[in-house]
Amino acid sequence: MRVLHVLKEAPSDSVRLIIEAHRKVHQVEVIRLDLEGVEYDRVISSIETCDRVMVW
């Protein structure tokens, strides 16, 4: 399963733990919206192609 984590800010420790747990069993992609140079075409494409999307 492909899981996308969209982060609005730097991840907290609990969010980091969840992402790492997902990486053990799934293909994980992380996009941080708080960083410069966000490619919104990539965000939309990733949302469309991932099986599960989590926004933090």
What's the pTM? 0.92
Q: Average pLDDT of the chain?
A: 97
- pLDDT tens digits, one per residue of 3-27: 999 999 999 999 999 999 999 999 9
Residue labelled with tokens 């992402």: 19
Contact 48, 23 (CB under 8 A): no
Q: For residue 54, list its beta bridge partners.
A: 5
Tell me the residue range of the domain where 38 lies. Answer: 2-55
Whole-angstrom distance, CA of residue 13 vs CA of residue 51: 24
Total number of domains in the chain: 1
